[in-house]
């Protein structure tokens, strides 16, 4: 989170908004993974058809929030490039690597909450 705070200090309001969206998109993605896993674990009793529909719905939502998060990370990396500072995300292009980064961001925010 320190690197993000340092980046924010260099940014204009539009860039700060993009950074805040990336952080919120990380939380949205993590939340969507939890929702999908709750359905997959059959925590709630659903008949087979409702289960299938719920699983498909949560998977679509997870995929959409993942795409949104990836796009926002890429946008913030461009902001880093424009300011000549190290990129926020330096992992691979694999979707799972971006997902792990989302969890790292959320865990860091949670661990350092006020």
For residue 1, is pLDDT > 80? no
The string of pLDDT tens digits covering residues 52-95 is: 899 999 999 999 999 999 999 999 999 999 999 999 999 999 99
Range of the domain at 101: 2-35+61-111
Burial call 30-51: b when 16+ CB within 10 Å, e when fewer: bebbebbeebeeeeeeeeeeee
**Is residue 43 in some structural domain?**
no
| Structural domains counted in the chain | 1
**Is residue 48 in some structural domain?**
no
Look up the pTM and report it.
0.91
The string of pLDDT tens digits covering residues 19-37 is: 999 999 999 999 999 999 9
């Amino acid at each position: 989170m320190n690197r993000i705070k340092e980046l924010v200090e260099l940014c204009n309001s539009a860039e700060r908004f993009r950074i805040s969206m990336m952080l919120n998109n990380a939380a949205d993605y993590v939340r969507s993974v939890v929702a999908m896993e709750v359905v997959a674990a059959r925590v709630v009793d659903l008949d087979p058809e409702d289960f299938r529909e719920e699983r498909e719905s949560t998977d679509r939502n997870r995929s959409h929030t993942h795409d949104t998060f990836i796009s926002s990370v890429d946008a913030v990396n461009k902001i880093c490039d424009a300011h000549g500072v190290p990129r926020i995300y330096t992992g691979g292009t694999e979707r799972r690597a971006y997902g792990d980064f989302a969890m790292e961001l959320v865990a860091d925010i949670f661990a350092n909450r006020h």
